[in-house]
Structure 1
Amino acid sequence: MHRGLKSLLAAAGVALVAGCAAPSEPQVTFYSHGRSVQVAPAQYCDPTGEDCTTSPDAVRDLRVPPRAPLQVSVPGEVAETPWQVVFLYRGVNGEELDGRSPVFAPGERHAYTLQLPPDGAHLEHVEVQQFSAVLTQGVDGGVDFGIGGSWVLDVHQR
């Protein structure tokens, strides 16, 4: 076979394989106290909210010592859209409390550091939420944005 034809066929084969590869879903990285974990989305939708995949097995675990911060890093696909961090924690009296970061505007940031109050509260659950372009009627008369992607982390103290 002619050397040029072999090269052309090899290049076509590589292009065909590359063209068939599905784009991977974005991963969110959680980091605390010298350890990190990459988390696949538990839910991920196209921008219209029409085509969604769910993966309940995507929930990951990470040990976060009391009073230690948790750093959250999102890839460009998430940072280019509105997103926020929501979390559950236990107060010193054992009461379950929740909180959330501000909603970050598209392109505003790729990372967020979650720091609980220094009174001994224990972080239990964290979720990164990526907002979609889908709007729904809000209970207060306004509009709510749908959640197009979510990355979930369960936190352990020991």
Structure 2
Amino acid sequence: MRRVLPILLLLVVAACAAPHDPEVTFYADGKTVTVQPTQYCDVKSENCDVDTQATGVLKVRPGKPVQISVPGDLAKTAWSVKFTYRDAQGTPQEPLRSKLFTKNDPQYAYTLVLPNPGDQLESVEVQQYGSRIEASTTGTFDFVARGTWVLSVDDRK
């Protein structure tokens, strides 16, 4: 009975601990980095925690893919990947976005492939959407991001 009590106490303490925010893992060129969200809000995209230091950094060579892995809590919600890049001549391109993944077809991983082989990735954002919708300046409606996980790309040679 003496050994059972400490184990039960640990289980109770662990069960009472606040759940941690979901983490996203990025993989490129044989290296991985796991990041906390730079912003994480409740489902209404309110009451947000912000951590500007949570950004991850990976070296990614021109034209190389980045693999992204998300936990089940994120995979079973609405999310997408937004990224910035420049072409082989160094000209910044318009940011692009992956398709929207939803709970109807959970997506646990995504491989980001740039449009052309010589393109250089600059940054990646995994964005989880909440239930709040806002009108955009173009007259359309957009879901507001609930959580954002950021990867900055180190493109030094």
Normalised to the residue count of structure 1, the TM-score between the two structures is: 0.88
Cα distance change, pair 11–156 in 1 and its aligned pair in 2 (3 A) = closer
Matched residue of 2:9: which SS? helix
- Name the CA distance, whole Å, in 1 between partners of 2:140 and 2:22: 30
1:69 and 2:75 correspond: no
- Name the CA distance, whole Å, in 2 between partners of 1:80 and 1:21: 23
**Counterpart of 1:143 in structure 2: which amino acid?**
F
Q: Select which of 79, 85, 90 maps to 1:94.
A: 90
Matched residue of 2:68: which SS? strand
Cα distance change, pair 135–64 in 1 and its aligned pair in 2 (3 A) = same
Q: Select which of 76, 81, 84 maps to 1:80.
A: 76
- Name the CA distance, whole Å, in 2 between partners of 1:92 and 1:121: 5
Matched residue of 1:77: which SS? helix
Matched residue of 1:96: which SS? coil
Query: Cα RMSD between the aligned structures?
Result: 1.8
Q: Which residue of 1 aligns with 2:46?
A: 50
1:113 and 2:111 correspond: yes
Query: Considering only CA atoms, is the larger Rg found in Structure 1 or Structure 2?
Result: 1
Deviation per CA, 1:53-108: give whole Å up to 9, x if none: 00000011001111211111111111111111011111122221121111112243
Cα distance change, pair 50–117 in 1 and its aligned pair in 2 (3 A) = closer
Matched residue of 2:15: which SS? helix
Q: Which residue of 2 aligns with 1:131?
A: 129
Q: Which residue of 1 aligns with 2:101?
A: 104
- Name the CA distance, whole Å, in 2 between partners of 1:12 and 1:110: 33
Structure 1 outlier segments of 4+, above 4 Å = 6-9
The number of residue pairs the alignment matches comes to 154
Structure 2 residue ranges without an equivalent (≥5) = none
Q: Which residue of 2 aligns with 1:151?
A: 149
**Counterpart of 1:99 in structure 2: which amino acid?**
L
Matched residue of 1:14: which SS? helix
Deviates more, 1:12-21 or 1:63-72: 12-21
**Counterpart of 1:80 in structure 2: which amino acid?**
K
Structure 1 residue ranges without an equivalent (≥5) = none
Cα distance change, pair 144–117 in 1 and its aligned pair in 2 (3 A) = closer
- Name the CA distance, whole Å, in 2 between partners of 1:102 and 1:35: 25
- Name the CA distance, whole Å, in 1 between partners of 2:4 and 2:65: 53
